[in-house]
Amino acid sequence: MADLRPFARRFRFLKLLRASLVLGALYDVAFAALMVAVPGLLAKAFGLPLPPRFYLWLIAVLLVMLAALYLEAARDPRRYSAIIRVAIGGRLLGALALGSAAFLGPSLSGLWPAAAADAAFGLAHALFWLPSRG
């Protein structure tokens, strides 16, 4: 009888990967909605200056587009593995950029939570994707 444990392990990581991608998509859509609906609330919560609404709307559109790609990758991770690689790299680079801004500009210290969230998503995607590839 064949040992199915490696397949079960890969399947478990694949389910976790899909969940992390869906959560990442929901996170991005929630931020996009808040940027459009109540931008002042986000600015106050993170202690950041409020940029012109046009920039927030543009970022919101990009976040919704990213969320759609995350959901597509969650639906079929093997077919859309390039999206997953971009998601991992993008989240980790986003964490680095946000963390650097928060570190270098004390007035931007409100970015630490967003940097931590990006790092957590990037690491989760990577930790769940790599073992599921086998």
Residue 32: pLDDT band with limits 50, 70, 90: very high
Nearest to 99 by CA among 114, 118, 115, 120: 115
Q: Looking at residue 17, what is its pLDDT?
A: 96
Q: How confident is the model at residue 123 (pLDDT cuts 50, 70, 90)?
A: very high
Q: What would the mean pLDDT of 111-131 be, rounded to a whole number? A: 95
At residue 34, what is the residue type? L
Given a cut of 60, whether residue 1 has pLDDT beyond it is: no
The residue among 6, 25, 23 whose CA lies nearest residue 131 is: 6
* Model confidence at 130: pLDDT above 90: no
pLDDT digits (tens, 9 = 90+) for 70-104: 999 999 998 999 999 999 999 999 999 999 999 99
From 85, 119, 84, select the one nearest 102 (Cα to Cα): 119
Q: Which residues contact 81 (CB under 8 A, 6 or more apart)?
A: 73, 129, 133
Residue range 6-11: average pLDDT?
76
Average pLDDT of every residue of the chain: 92
Q: Looking at the predicted structure, is the pLDDT value of residue 107 above 90?
A: no
At 10 the pLDDT is 81
Asked if residue 47 has pLDDT above 70, the reply is yes
